[in-house]
Chains A and B, each alone.
Chain A
């Protein structure tokens, strides 16, 4: 028995607790609504309906001036009906005021209601209203805000107040704002319980709340309180696919264009960036591949044959080194530097020079031909010299490459001890004295390309004699190029008087037989002279002889 009693007590207490809680909650709601109505509704008493059947009216009185609740009477009258009274109860609010509340559980809508409040028989409040026009609902419940997968959008949904017949008469206001911002936007929704917010900032937290009101056509009322705010984040900013795709397409187009331009100007660019280094490989056969660039070795291997190969250097003409080797016989008439014999001597010397200068190629029998040429050219009765010349078997010219610039006395030259590099065209039986007595011709070449030392030697080292000026030209042959010094006079006084011509080497005769003469001819070729031969040129150049 006691157990049952206890159980009943427990149940009762639970029920009591629940009711108290609901009453407390209801009281809290009432207080909240009352405070709101007190702000918004000017008329007294302030009345509102919460549902299809609930109806609440109240008015406020100060604690000091109020009486007891019994002093007041609340009378309401529907149109065409008898009046009724409503029991009042008093509520104490926080700010020292008293509320007198009338609550009805059954109401008639769509009909006018007249309310009168009397205090001790005196009418203090009077009001006529229609109940369906004074709705004050609870805020919407279960407000949910979610992402609907789109950028800058949020989907808000809620549960409308549970009022039958009034679902389609409800109007909602959705207020949303970034969580840290004060400016809020409001969207109005009619007869729907969800809304999609657009145009939101991506990646931001938004605070959303909803309130409800009846739309005012069939029913009307006051705006409900705001629902509790719901915080939700919008989707983070995403790359606009259109922009991404457009930028990709544009970059692709640019790449294709640049590649096309590069390929079309490929050769030009390669030349600019990677210029072609000239390679003399073709001219030096085997130099790089076989001898690894060792020029001396390559020279040795080839025996300098390439030097003499006419086609190698100057295809049109025969190789250049003037290796005129002629053994000048020790003819007494030759070295006498006398005036009257000057001409003859000169001729002889010239002839010597001529013969000397005429290079004889090694191993090539040019002597006879040379002599013939000399004979025809000279036509000088100088049998001795001629014979001597003819007898000479070797005509050689050694070109002195000691860089004597300026006019040096020839006797110095004669006694010179400069190293000589003698290029022999052919070795003949010539007394060494005559060889050694060869004077050397001053070389006044300004060329620096002379690689071989050579000297021009005259027999008996007395020629050219002093006091005689001879125009001479030094041919310097380096093996690669021939350098012809400007013709200069051996006589000091003649310098400046004698017109010296420096002739550029020209060779236009590719004939094998004529290289010697051709080279010399070309050497002394001068149109102004009008000379047709070497000797004649020489003679002309030295008019005093």
Chain B
């Protein structure tokens, strides 16, 4: 008889415990004003990328790419962009982020200026955070192809400043548009 009475109690307790655990293990995101869709995080990343770019511009020595890297195209034609479906957009952004990650890592390795190291480290960290944000919006992750294919959406840069400029433009453009258009936080835009 005692066990019969205690079972509901136990169930309730287990359920509560489960909720608590799930709450803990939820992907950590800064609490946004609008659920998930707050772009202030991205703005912060963009500002930091701009700082890195301006720092790179003022660098004279020890800030050059050892080799040319592949970077995504950053241009956005709104007519074309709007015609693309969400998946293509996501694919474009994810591949671009991956490419940038590779390029920045390469740059980080070749740059000897210690002042730039912090900027570059920051940028790389931000890229990973953006990946997390995209994941939270249920945007599929990018699986890099076995071999890098130079497509329409990529081009080669050999200058550090160009690389960082691309990085900034990419964040400001495509990444932002994708986040804005994410179905998870779909807004009625005019």
Contact = CB atoms under 8 A, between A and B. Distances in A.
Nearest to A164: B189
Contacts of A109: 75-78, 173
A194 interface: no
A218 B78 contact: no
B18 interface: no
Contacts of B79: 53, 106
B178 to A, nearest CB: 11
B15 interface: no
Given A53-B78, A80-B155, A110 B190 contact: no
B169 A110 contact: yes
Contacts, number: 56
Contacts of A78: 75
A2 B46 CA distance: 65
B43 A217 contact: yes
Given A110-B173, A110-B174, A167-B189, A218 B43 contact: yes
Contacts of B169: 110-111, 130
B70 interface: no
B172 interface: yes
Contact of A110 (B47, B74, B180, B189): B74
B39 interface: yes
B117 interface: no
Interface in A90-143: 106-112, 130, 132
Nearest to A113: B75
Contacts of B165: 112
Nearest to B75: A111
A313 to B, nearest CB: 107
B182 interface: no
Contact of B190 (A106, A132, A162, A217): A162
Contacts of B170: 110
A78 B76 CA distance: 11
Interface in A42-89: 52-53, 78-80
A168 B74 CA distance: 21
B46 A218 contact: yes
Interface in B81-138: none
A162 B170 CA distance: 24
B172 A132 contact: yes
Contacts of B155: 80
A274 interface: no
Contacts of B76: 108-111
A166 to B, nearest CB: 9
Contacts of B174: 110
Contacts of A3: none
B190 A164 contact: yes
Interface string B28-72: 000000000001000100110000000000000000000000000
A217 B46 contact: yes
Given A80-B155, A110-B169, A218-B172, A165 B177 contact: yes
Contacts of A164: 78, 189-190
A111 B74 contact: yes
B42 to A, nearest CB: 8
B47 to A, nearest CB: 7
A108 B77 contact: yes
A106 B77 contact: yes
A108 B75 contact: yes
Contacts of A53: 78-79
Nearest to B173: A110
A275 B162 CA distance: 109
Interface in B167-190: 169-170, 172-174, 176-177, 180, 189-190
A167 B77 CA distance: 18
B147 to A, nearest CB: 22
B172 A110 contact: yes
Interface of A: 52-53, 78-80, 106-112, 130, 132, 162, 164-165, 167-168, 217-218
Nearest 5 interchain pairs by C-beta? A110-B173, A111-B75, A108-B75, A218-B172, A110-B169
14 contacts: A53-B78, A80-B73, A108-B76, A108-B77, A109-B75, A109-B76, A110-B170, A110-B173, A110-B174, A111-B76, A112-B165, A164-B78, A168-B39, A217-B46
Given A109-B77, A109-B173, A168-B39, 20 more contacts: A52-B78, A78-B75, A80-B155, A106-B77, A107-B77, A108-B77, A109-B76, A110-B76, A110-B170, A110-B174, A111-B74, A111-B75, A111-B76, A130-B169, A162-B190, A165-B176, A165-B177, A217-B43, A217-B46, A217-B47
